[in-house]
Amino acid sequence: MTVNNERDLKGMKLAGKVVARTLEALKAAVEPGVTPAELDTLAGQIFTQHGAFSAPRAEYGAPVNVFISVNEDIVHGLPTHRPLAAGDVVCLDVTPNVGGYVADAAATVAVPPVSPVAARLIACAEAAFAQAMTAARAGRPINGIGRAIETEVKRRGFTLLRELQGHGVGRAIHEQPDVPNFYHPALKKPLHQGLVIAVEPMVSSGRSWRTRTLQDGWTISTTDGGIAAHFEHTIMMTTGDPLILTA
């Protein structure tokens, strides 16, 4: 969507605030022995407290409040009843609808003790997002975001999961434009003032950038068993630094 009035801006800020509060609560609750299903219940309780509901459930029939992906699972993981164990890498992907506005963010955390590879992988996803923010300006081309992400991931020696990408967001989860995480020379269209997009680098410790969907029909995993990290925020374009709505 494009924010062009105060009502839309307030609506997106409120949705972003619910995302941020939910993510912080989930990150704090990640520990050995807790199950992803319990984290999902916690997210649902926070949504209810804020008059929100799960956008993936409403739009796509997802049987969850939030997606929780563990280790080699990248995105859209269905929360299971398997207790988290030391060293697990956990992606928390939160996308509520709040009063008709949808915001989307994700973070990856590891259950202590964290392996050096997992720590560097998570840092890579976050650094790639930070670099993308230097390219996310009204008037600049969409493909500048992907160039920045791809360059940073390569610099850090990890694998960019090219089949997954960012997207427009606001009234629905997935809107135009597509925002690839790699440089796509044809995507020269400039970003414009007020445009709301989700930027979400996804990286793997493995060598293959290919992904696969598991038998549950939802969970997307790496093909070579590499662990994955995902970092995402919903941002709004300005002529200066983008406004991170889900921070």
Annotated binding site for substrate: 76, 174
Please calculate the CA angle 229-233-236 and round it to the nearest 5 degrees.
155
| Tokens standing for residue 239 | 């002529």
Q: Is 59 helix (H, G, I), strand (E, B) or coil?
A: helix
Nearest to 165 by CA among 144, 179, 184: 179
Cβ contact 239:139 at 8 Å: yes
- Is residue 197 a contact partner of residue 54, using CB atoms and an 8 Å limit? no
d(CA 74, CA 61): 20
User: Which of 170, 105, 177 lies closest to 141, judged by CA?
Assistant: 177
Report the distance separating Cα 64 and Cα 49, nearest Å.
17
Helix (H, G, I), strand (E, B) or coil at 95: coil
* Annotated binding-site ranges: 76, 93, 104, 167, 174, 200, 232
CA 130 to chain centre: 13
Residues flagged as binding site for a divalent metal cation = 93, 104, 167, 200, 232
